Amino acid sequence: MHSQKNTPNTKSIFILPLFVIAFLVQADYLIMVPLSMKVANATGVSLTHTGLLISIYPIAAAVSAFFFAPFSDRIGRKKMLTYLIIGFCFSSLGCAFSYSAEHIFLFRILSGVFGGIIIPNALAFVSDTFEGKQKIRSLSTLILSFPVASVLGVPLGAWIGDAFSWRTPFIFIAIVSLIIGLFILKLPTIKGYQEDNIYEQYRELLALWYDNKNRSVFAVQFLMLIGLFGFIPQISTWLTLNFQMSTTEIGFCFMQGGIGAILGNITARHLLQRGHDTSLISMGSFVMAVTLLLVTMELLHPSLIGLGFAFCMFGGALRMPAHQVILSDLVSIKLRGRLLSMNMIVANISMGLGGLWSYPLLSVESGLLVGMEQIGWVSFITLCFIPILIHQTKKRP
C-alpha cells in the first residue's frame, strides 16, 4: 500500500463516498435508539429488552472485525468495502421486513457483522492515502459522519418512523448504500499485502496486544465507551416512560447532541493541527462525565435534556479524532488495517457490554424506568480514569 498526493478536488471525490457510507452505517446503528419502542411493539420484544436491540449490533461487529481484520490488509480496502456494503444492504432490508423478535435480532446481528467494520476499513483507506496534516483533515472529515448522522439521520429517521413506518428508514439506508457502493468501486485501488499467509496475519493481529502502548490506547478506548453505552441503549425507553417523549422528540434530542458533536469535531480538528492530542481526550472525557451524571440524575429540566445531550456529545467528539490520529501513527501501513480493526473490536465490545452490564440495574416501576442514576455514576467513574491512563500512555516511549 502507499500514500499519494491529492489535489483538493481529488480529495473531495475520494472522501465523499466514504463519508456517506460511514454516515449510513452510523445512522443504521443509532436509528434503532428512538425506534426501539416501535420495533419492540411490532416484533414482540419486551420493553426491558429493547436495549439489547442496540447492544447486539456492536457485539456482532466485534466478532466480525476479529475474523475479517486480516482480509482488509490482504485483499485491499476497496474490495473489502465492496463485499461489506453488499452484506450491509441485505441486512438492512432484512431488518425492514422482520415480523418477529427472532428475525429482528438475527438481522441486527448481520447488520453488525457487515456494517460494524465498514467504518474502520474506511478509516484505514483514508490513512493509507493521505499524510501529515492532510491525513488529520481527512480523518476528521470522515469522523464527522458520526455527529452528522445524529443531526440528520436520527431525527429524520425518527420522523419517518412516526409518519410512515419504522421499516421505511431501513429500506432507504439499504438503497442508498447500494448506490454509494457503486461510487466506491470507482475509487483508486491500493493493493493489499499478499506475502504473508492468513495465519501469520492473524498472529500479527493478536501480537498488537504485546505492545504496551497499543494496550494503553485500547484501554483508553474501552473506558471511553463502556460507561457511555450503558446509557445510550436505554435512552428510548427512559425518555418515553419518564419524560413522555415521542419518537420524533427523542430524534430531536439526538439532533441537538449531533450539533454538539459537530462543534466538538471542528474544535478538535483545529487543536489537533496545533499539536494537541492526549489533552483533547482528557478534556472531552471530563465534559462527558459531568454531563452524563447530571442527565441521568434527572437534575435537568425536561426541556434541557437535548442541551445535555449536546454537551455530552461535544465532549465525546473532542476525543475521537485525537484517538484516531494517535492510533494511525502507532504502526506501519502494513499493520494499520489490523490495528484499526482491533481498536474497533475493543470499541464494539465496550459498546455491547455497556448494554449488558446496565441491564440488571433497570426495572419498570409505576410506569417509570428506574436505575438510570446508577448507570450515570458508573459512567462518571470510568470516564474519570481516562486522564490518568492517557497521561501514563504519553510518557511511554
Query: What's the pLDDT tens digit per position in 19-34?
Result: 999 999 989 988 888 8
**What is the distance between the alpha carbons of residues 33 and 188, in angstroms, rounded to a whole number?**
36
Going by C-alpha positions, the residue among 27, 183, 36 that lies closest to residue 92 is 27
Mean pLDDT check: name the lowest of 65-69, 157-161, 287-291, 354-358: 65-69
Query: What local confidence, expressed as pLDDT, does residue 295 receive?
Result: 94
Mean pLDDT of the chain: 83
Q: How confident is residue 1, by pLDDT bands cut at 50, 70 and 90? A: very low
Q: Give the 3-state secondary structure percentages of the chain, helix then strand then coil, rounded to 5.
A: 80, 0, 15
Q: What is the pLDDT of residues 247-305, one digit of tens each?
A: 888 888 888 888 898 898 889 888 887 777 778 888 999 999 999 999 999 988 888 99
**C-alpha gyration radius of the chain:** 20
Residue 244, pLDDT > 70, answer: yes
Query: What local confidence, expressed as pLDDT, does residue 292 receive?
Result: 94
Going by C-alpha positions, the residue among 105, 19, 126 that lies closest to residue 54 is 105
Cell readout for 319 is 476525543
Residue 129, pLDDT > 50, answer: yes
Q: What is the pLDDT of residues 43-57, one digit of tens each?
A: 888 776 777 888 888
Q: How confident is residue 397, by pLDDT bands cut at 50, 70 and 90? A: low
Identify whether 359 is part of a domain. Answer: yes
Identify whether 150 is part of a domain. Answer: yes
**Percent of the chain surpassing pLDDT 70:** 90
Give the residue numbers spanning the domain of 31: 8-187+194-395
Query: What local confidence, expressed as pLDDT, does residue 8 receive?
Result: 53
Sequence-distant (6+) residues with CB within 8 A of 186 are none
Q: 154 and 161 in contact (C-beta within 8 Å)?
A: no
Cβ neighbourhood burial of 15 (10 Å; 0-12, 13-18, 19+): buried
Mean pLDDT check: name the lowest of 71-75, 143-147, 271-275, 350-354: 71-75
Identify whether 2 is part of a domain. Answer: no
**What is the distance between the alpha carbons of residues 24 and 60, in angstroms, rounded to a whole number?**
18
Query: What local confidence, expressed as pLDDT, does residue 3 receive?
Result: 44
Q: What is the pLDDT of residues 185-209, one digit of tens each?
A: 888 766 655 555 667 777 777 888 8
CATH number at residue 108: 1.20.1250.20
Mean pLDDT check: name the lowest of 3-7, 118-122, 389-393: 3-7
pTM: predicted TM-score of the whole model, two decimal places: 0.71
Q: ∠ CA 251-314-220 to the nearest 5 degrees?
A: 110
As for how many domains the chain has, the answer is 1
**What is the distance between the alpha carbons of residues 370 and 362, in angstroms, rounded to a whole number?**
6
Query: What local confidence, expressed as pLDDT, does residue 7 receive?
Result: 52
Identify whether 3 is part of a domain. Answer: no
Average pLDDT in the 234-240 region?
Answer: 87
Query: What local confidence, expressed as pLDDT, does residue 190 receive?
Result: 64
Residue 383, pLDDT > 90, answer: yes
Query: What local confidence, expressed as pLDDT, does residue 396 receive?
Result: 59
Beta strands in the chain (DSSP E): 363-365, 368-370
Average pLDDT in the 76-84 region?
Answer: 86
Query: What local confidence, expressed as pLDDT, does residue 2 receive?
Result: 45
Identify whether 250 is part of a domain. Answer: yes
**What is the distance between the alpha carbons of residues 45 and 88, in angstroms, rounded to a whole number?**
23
Query: What local confidence, expressed as pLDDT, does residue 334 receive?
Result: 67
Higher pLDDT, 46 or 174: 174
